[in-house]
């Protein structure tokens, strides 16, 4: 694994880009989808609590950004834990970065332990991406293709179709750039870029099973980086779980092929 050293300021910026992307995804959710999924997004301290009652998975149930700008209180941490407990969620995490002030100590005081899945936080500069050879065609799409974007993403992830209706609201939204890899007229893969404070957050990357191995994600990654450079991004960031021994970890490999390097390992803490 290739790692780099980032300053505390850059760490806060790349964390903020991810945090803001998720906040805006929450703002984009229509009321009927929010009700159907039991979505909640609540501020706590300098961070936010993201929760979806109907999907008991750490991707959607987490505390992010807490302690990045200042020391926090137990009450601020307890507010987030209380949301997960009230919703009956078992799979939730608290992100702890190397700059999260006293968050790790407060988590220990509440008996939280490391989750089995540690995430790597990646960073890349704004060097132009290398061309990717693929027989698929990658295009940025607008609101008129939002449904195709959302459904391609959730099919690739293997998640409920209602999530596609939510993600389908992102194309055409301010600071979002959404891409689809096409096989002719058939969507094969999807990915998004969110721009915040000259940092491009790369997320929502999924490829349909029947198209894996045809470099869809590598091509979509390159397209997102090129778009971010056009938008004036100084850095790009993304995150994914570090593969356990014996796991293939395709996302982990694709990210590094696109020139992103590990900035740090981000601890995920949860109830023991």
Q: Tell me what pLDDT residue 248 has.
A: 82
Residues (pLDDT < 70) of the chain are: 1-2
Round to whole Å and give the CA distance between 72 and 141.
41
Token pair for 252: 């982990």
CATH superfamily of 137-233: Gcn5-related N-acetyltransferase (GNAT) (3.40.630.30)
pLDDT at 213: 92
Res 57: pLDDT: 95
Q: 262 forms bridges with which residues in the sheet?
A: 3, 122
pLDDT of amino acid 247? 87
Tokens for 96, please give them.
């702890």
Residue ranges per structural domain of the chain: 8-122, 137-233
3-class state of residue 135 by DSSP = coil
State pTM to two decimals. Answer: 0.95
pLDDT digits (tens, 9 = 90+) for 228-264: 999 999 999 999 999 998 888 888 998 999 999 999 9
The conformational region for residue 37 under phi > 0 = left, psi -120 to 50 = alpha, else beta, is alpha
pLDDT for 3 equals: 80
């Amino acid at each position: 694994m290739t790692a780099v050293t980032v300053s505390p300021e850059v760490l806060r910026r790349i964390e903020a880009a991810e945090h803001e992307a998720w906040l805006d995804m929450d703002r984009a959710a229509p009321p009927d989808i929010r009700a159907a999924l039991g979505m909640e997004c609540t501020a706590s301290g300098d961070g936010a609590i993201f929760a979806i009652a109907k999907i008991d998975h750490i991707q959607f149930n987490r505390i992010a950004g807490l302690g990045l700008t200042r020391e926090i209180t137990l009450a601020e941490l307890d507010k987030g834990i209380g949301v997960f407990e009230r919703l009956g969620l078992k799979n939730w995490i608290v992100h702890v970065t190397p700059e999260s002030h006293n968050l790790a100590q407060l988590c220990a005081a509440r008996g939280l332990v490391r989750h089995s899945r540690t995430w790597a936080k990646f960073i890349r500069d704004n060097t132009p991406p290398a061309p990717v050879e693929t027989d698929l065609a990658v295009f940025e799409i607008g609101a008129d293709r939002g449904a195709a974007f959302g459904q391609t993403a959730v099919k690739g992830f293997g998640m409920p179709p209602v999530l596609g209706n939510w993600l389908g609201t992102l194309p055409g939204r301010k600071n979002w750039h959404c891409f689809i890899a096409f096989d002719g007229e058939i969507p094969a893969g999807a990915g998004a870029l969110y721009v915040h404070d000259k940092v491009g957050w790369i997320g929502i990357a999924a490829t349909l099973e029947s198209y894996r191995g045809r470099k869809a994600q590598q091509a979509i990654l390159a397209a997102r980086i090129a778009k971010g450079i056009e938008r004036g991004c100084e850095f790009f960031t993304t995150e994914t779980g570090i593969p356990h021994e014996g796991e293939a970890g395709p996302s982990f490999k694709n990210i590094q092929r696109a020139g992103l390097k590990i900035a740090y390992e981000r601890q995920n803490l949860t109830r023991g």
